[in-house]
Amino acid sequence: QQQVKQSPQSLIVQKGGISIINCAYENTAFDYFPWYQQFPGKGPALLIAIRPDVSEKKEGRFTISFNKSAKQFSLHIMDSQPGDSATYFCAAMYGGATNKLIFGTGTLLAVQP
Amino acid sequence: GAVVSQHPSRVICKSGTSVKIECRSLDFQATTMFWYRQFPKKSLMLMATSNEGSKATYEQGVEKDKFLINHASLTLSTLTVTSAQPEDSSFYICSARVTGFSQPQHFGDGTRLSIL
């Protein structure tokens, strides 16, 4: 119930295309859903995040779509660029004493020029 | 804003050595810091959670005597790998957050630890 399932494991997209990464969770107590971007040899960087009372959030080329009833959320990268090539992790967190993040398994995105 | 600095970025040492990794929040006070371990092409595995001024809480399966965590101030946490062995070689990443609803974790750039 603590797991966050992420797919696909890897993704190849042409420059200018749309990259879509999906995540699903079980624990309805989760109340914060961030996406992180990680380049090789670096720590994850917060990309965008959403709370379950919102169905969509957009920041620049990045959009989170959230389906509370299905317990699913996804990241859409519009007009994908080679510089977007990285590993993307979804995560989920619930409030409480620890505020621990539960990470998905990651998606390696390659945007071809 | 929300910069987390981790030092060193890379360390290579012999078996049996103890290695200390520092994690600093540069522009905010972090009531909670987290330590993760990441294997190649894998996700982040939470090792422990530390709150300023109290003992760290370790995840199941993480040896607290092997991985010593100190969170002495609101801007500094340290992870010491004691008597490091080759199997401790990994990428260690810290994160920090302030208290509050839906406050994000901000990550350092990690430390690549290689034990010979």
- pLDDT, tens digit (0-9, with 9 covering 90-100), for B29-73: 888 899 999 999 899 999 999 988 888 999 999 999 999 999 888
Q: CA nearest B6 in A: which residue?
A: A43
> What pLDDT score was predicted for residue B48?
94
Looking at the partner chain, which of B41, B97, B106 has a beta carbon nearest the beta carbon of A99? B97
> What pLDDT score was predicted for residue A89?
97
Distance to chain A for B86, nearest Cα, Å: 19
**Do the chains contact at A43 and B110, CB–CB below 8 Å?**
yes
The secondary structure of residue B75, as a DSSP letter, is: T
> What pLDDT score was predicted for residue A109?
98
Residue in A41, A39, A32, A21 with CA at minimum distance from that of residue A96: A32
Distance to chain B for A103, nearest Cα, Å: 7
Contact assessment for residue B55 and residue B112, using Cβ atoms and an 8 Å cutoff:
no
pLDDT per residue rounded down to tens, chain A (113 residues): 678 999 999 999 999 999 999 999 998 889 899 999 999 999 999 999 999 999 999 999 999 999 999 999 999 999 999 999 999 999 998 766 567 899 999 999 999 99
Distance to chain A for B83, nearest Cα, Å: 25
**What's the CA gap between B115 and A31, in Å, rounded?**
39
Looking at the partner chain, which of A43, A93, A95 has a beta carbon nearest the beta carbon of B93? A43
List of chain A residues whose C-beta atoms are within 8 Å of the C-beta of residue B101: 95
pLDDT in tens, B14-31: 999 999 999 999 988 888
Residue in A53, A10, A16, A9 with CA at minimum distance from that of residue A31: A53
Residue in B57, B103, B32, B94 with CA at minimum distance from that of residue A95: B103
> What pLDDT score was predicted for residue B100?
72
Q: Which residues of B touch A (CB under 8 A)?
A: 4, 6, 32, 34, 41-44, 46, 49, 57, 93, 95, 97, 101-110, 112
| B93 burial via Cβ count (<10 Å: 0-12, 13-18, 19+) | buried
Tokens of A20: 């879509």
> What pLDDT score was predicted for residue B98?
81
Match 């890379």 to its residue by tokens: B10
Chain B interface includes A5 (CB < 8 A): no
Bigger pLDDT: B64 vs B101? B64
